[in-house]
Amino acid sequence: GQNIDQPTEMTATEGAIVQINCTYQTSGFNGLFWYQQHAGEAPTFLSYNVLDGLEEKGRFSSFLSRSKGYSYLLLKELQMKDSASYLCAVMDSNYQLIWGAGTKLIIKP
Amino acid sequence: SAVISQKPSRDICQRGTSLTIQCQVDSQVTMMFWYRQQPGQSLTLIATANQGSEATYESGFVIDKFPISRPNLTFSTLTVSNMSPEDSSIYLCSVVSGREGISSYNEQFFGPGTRLTVL
């Protein structure tokens, strides 16, 4: 079967760095996405990785290792507004998105 | 990018009634998706709606319960029929739009969602 695993909840301190991991097992691979979702709102796109390595975009970076079926989202200089759920999703061989359950990130002052 | 609007944004309905949710996109898109997100959970795909063909439903979802229309490339509706409290959820419309560039890929955009409460 297809499976996406990520931690349910994480807590970090304002100004610090946090890494949210995602492991996946899917039938085929056409890219991995990270989305941010604030409570009561729709998900918004953060990043896309299809090749191995690190993609940096401001305070956010995303890493992919296809051989390990592993990705992480790195958030630097955390701000209170970063408190949200972070969803990992993999596009399979049918170009369907398989969604993880999301990681709820709590930022403390 | 694609801008998506949904109506209604929220509704409270009685058991046994039906609600139709509308999704409007500001550009023509081939594939539209309907998701459900129950409190504290991730997204569950209900069906994929392509213009000019029947919607494709995921396991656990049937057309009689969730009929979908896709009359053109910018609009779709999802009806939640014969509602029960278990249908209380956020319903999200989503589209895939190509993003060209150094690394071209298809990005999935979401509407603001419809928050449904069934009493």
Contact B109 A45 (CB under 8 A): yes
- Window B:18-47, CB contacts with A under 8 Å: 41-45
Cα A93 from Cα B18, distance rounded (Å): 35
B85: phi then psi, degrees, rounded to nearest 5? -55, -25
CA distances for A95 relative to A27, A66, A69, angstroms: 10, 17, 17
Q: Is the pLDDT confidence value at A66 over 70?
A: yes
Q: What percent of chain B has pLDDT over 90?
A: 65
Position B102 scores a pLDDT of 43
Position A30 scores a pLDDT of 86
Cα B112 from Cα B7, distance rounded (Å): 9
Note the pLDDT tens digit of each residue in B15-71.
999 999 999 999 888 888 999 998 778 789 999 998 778 899 999 999 999 999 999
Residues of chain B positioned with their CB less than 8 A from the CB of A50: 103, 105
Residues of chain A positioned with their CB less than 8 A from the CB of B34: none
Dihedral over alpha carbons A47, A52, A53, A57 (to 10 degrees): -10
CA distance A104 to chain B (A): 9
Cα B114 from Cα A38, distance rounded (Å): 15
Position B39 scores a pLDDT of 78
Contact B108 A97 (CB under 8 A): yes
- Of residues A93 and A80, the one with the higher pLDDT is A80
Position A102 scores a pLDDT of 93
Cα A53 from Cα A69, distance rounded (Å): 13
Rg of chain B on CA atoms, in Å? 14
Q: Is the pLDDT confidence value at A72 over 80?
A: yes
